[in-house]
Amino acid sequence: MGKRVIITGVPGVGKTTVVEGAMKALATEGIIYQPINFGSFMFEVAAKEGIVQDRDQMRKLDRTVQKKLQKMAAQAIAAIEGNIIIDTHCSVKTPQGFLPGLPEWVLSALLPDMLILVETDEDQILQRRLRDPTRIRDMEGSRGIADHQQFNRSAASAIGVMTGCTVKIVKNQDFLLEQAIQEMAAALR
């Protein structure tokens, strides 16, 4: 069985950007990971059933619907073989509070070897969200982003204890993207 790595971080921290860079660097050494976006698996089902029109509407759905979509995504991803890197969330900010992105029944399907948590200063994340016109982001100040990052650290720690996977924190700071890419690539080797 290949390696299963979960990558998380608050929206806009740059996890997709860092993963893409790390995979490109590793491919030059013949190390291949298949990138999997957990939200895309959820969105595919939700869009087919006519529940949502865009991925940013998913976190506003009733939590029982979100849980059903999570379960279907986890089962589909669990069937994928080889080295995979799953881009997802430790927690999703919903109007009813934080929804665990990786509850026990998702983790027992995925069985991760490692969890990577991407972080940076909350002010930088706020600026990145404001600069990205392609997404409909929730209106949130830097204090709210800091609280979300803190919650994710607790969730990551619980996931490590529950599954035995290692938890790696990668900082993706402004002007230091290459450093984040190299750090992630080293963890994935």
- 99 and 19 Cβ atoms separated by less than 8 Å: no
For ligand AP5, which is the closer residue by CB, 3 or 55?
55
For ligand AP5, which is the closer residue by CB, 33 or 38?
38
For ligand AP5, which is the closer residue by CB, 30 or 181?
181
3-state SS, one letter per residue, for 3-23: CEEEEECCCCCCHHHHHHHHH
Distances (CA, A) of 104 to 50, 53, 69, 109: 28, 29, 15, 9
Q: Is 112 a residue that touches ligand AP5 (CB under 6 A)? A: no
- For the chain, the residue count is 189
57 three-class SS: helix
* Shortest reach from residue 143's CB to ligand AP5, in Å: 19
* Shortest reach from residue 112's CB to ligand AP5, in Å: 12
At a CB cut-off of 8 Å and minimum separation 6, what does 144 contact? none
Q: Number of helices (H) and strands (E) in the chain: give both, helices first.
A: 7, 7
- 185 and 25 Cβ atoms separated by less than 8 Å: yes
Q: Is 135 a residue that touches ligand AP5 (CB under 6 A)? A: yes
Largest CA distance in the chain: 45
Q: Is 163 a residue that touches ligand AP5 (CB under 6 A)? A: no
Kind of pairing between the strands at 91-94 and 97-100: antiparallel
Q: Is 185 a residue that touches ligand AP5 (CB under 6 A)? A: no
Contacting ligand AP5 (CB under 6 A), which of 5, 13, 155, 181?
13
Q: Is 21 a residue that touches ligand AP5 (CB under 6 A)? A: no
Site for ligand AP5, residues 50 to 109, rule: CB under 6 A = 55, 58-59, 66, 70, 87-89, 92, 101-102
For ligand AP5, which is the closer residue by CB, 92 or 165?
92
Residue ranges that bind ligand AP5, judged by CB under 6 A: 9, 11-17, 37-39, 42, 55, 58-59, 66, 70, 87-89, 92, 101-102, 128, 131-132, 135, 172, 174, 177
